[in-house]
């Protein structure tokens, strides 16, 4: 049965008890980093865990059945919207997304400008960490436009923190795309976000 993506005010419901102290420190660092870089606190943090497939590895995206299990490692996307005055400084025809990563030594900061009625451009020839956020963004915006053909995204500031090992078979890219899409949907007041629509959106977005 389809369910809404849960919203919580406490990380205690997200992690095993043994992980709470380390996660509290991690989340505090995320908030402090966001405030240092953007001069304000995020509106919220979207989270998507990594996973293991107990049955059916690498067949789910071909629509075969699998039995996945979420794990405690995850991707966090902290997000703030620019206020309307700031948002319109760049003009009414485009939105600006500033993308930062807590691991700034490995993942450099980036900014992209998106036509209000368009999509984020992704260069498939370049392996950029920001492409995963853009993929989730495009999927979320596409879903929002199904309900409102005139929908245009707001300018956003994001900070990403992830501890799902890349290339380890733990769905790090899927977690990143899913957290990104969830963040964009919630930022634009899509509530509730249903689990099934988010999963289907993320599958298509990652493959595109």
Tokens of 64: 């075969």
pLDDT at 61: 65
The 8-class DSSP code of residue 92 comes to T
pLDDT tens string 177-192: 999 999 999 999 988 9
pTM of the predicted model as reported, rounded to 2 decimal places: 0.92
pLDDT at 90: 59
pLDDT at 52: 85
Beta carbons within 8 Å of 41's beta carbon, 6+ residues apart: 31, 34, 35, 80
The 8-class DSSP code of residue 11 comes to G
> Alpha-carbon distance 180 to 188, whole Å?
13
pLDDT at 23: 97
Chain centre to alpha carbon of residue 189: 15
Kindly list the distances between the CA atom of residue 166 and the CA atoms of 35, 60, 92, in Å, as whole numbers in the listed order.
27, 19, 38
The 8-class DSSP code of residue 146 comes to H
Beta carbons within 8 Å of 207's beta carbon, 6+ residues apart: 61
Q: Taking the chain, what is the end-to-end CA distance rounded to the nearest angstrom? A: 27
> Alpha-carbon distance 193 to 7, whole Å?
10
Task: Say which residue the tokens 């956020």 belong to.
Answer: 133
- Single out the residue of 171, 178, 173, 195 nearest to residue 57, CA to CA: 171
**Low-confidence residues of the chain: pLDDT under 50:** none
pLDDT tens string 108-152: 999 999 998 899 999 988 889 999 999 999 999 999 999 999 999
């Amino acid at each position: 049965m389809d369910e809404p993506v849960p919203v919580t005010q406490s990380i205690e419901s997200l992690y095993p008890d043994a992980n709470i102290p380390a996660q509290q420190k991690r989340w505090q660092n995320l908030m402090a980093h966001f405030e240092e870089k953007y001069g304000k606190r995020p509106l919220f943090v979207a989270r998507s865990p990594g996973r293991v497939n107990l049955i059916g590895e690498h067949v789910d995206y071909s629509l075969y059945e699998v039995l996945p299990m979420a794990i405690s490692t995850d991707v966090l996307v902290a997000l703030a919207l620019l206020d309307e005055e700031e948002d319109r400084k760049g003009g009414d025809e485009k939105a600006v997304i500033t993308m930062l990563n807590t691991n700034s030594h490995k993942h450099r900061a980036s900014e992209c400008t998106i036509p209000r009625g368009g999509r984020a451009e992704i260069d498939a020839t370049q392996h950029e960490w920001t492409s995963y956020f853009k993929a989730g963004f495009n999927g979320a915006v596409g879903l929002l436009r199904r309900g409102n053909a005139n929908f245009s995204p707001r300018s956003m500031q994001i900070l990403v923190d992830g501890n799902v090992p890349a290339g380890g078979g733990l769905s790090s890219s899927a977690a990143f795309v899913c957290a990104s899409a969830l963040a964009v949907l919630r930022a634009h007041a899509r509530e509730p976000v249903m689990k099934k629509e988010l999963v289907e959106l993320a599958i298509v977005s990652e493959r595109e």
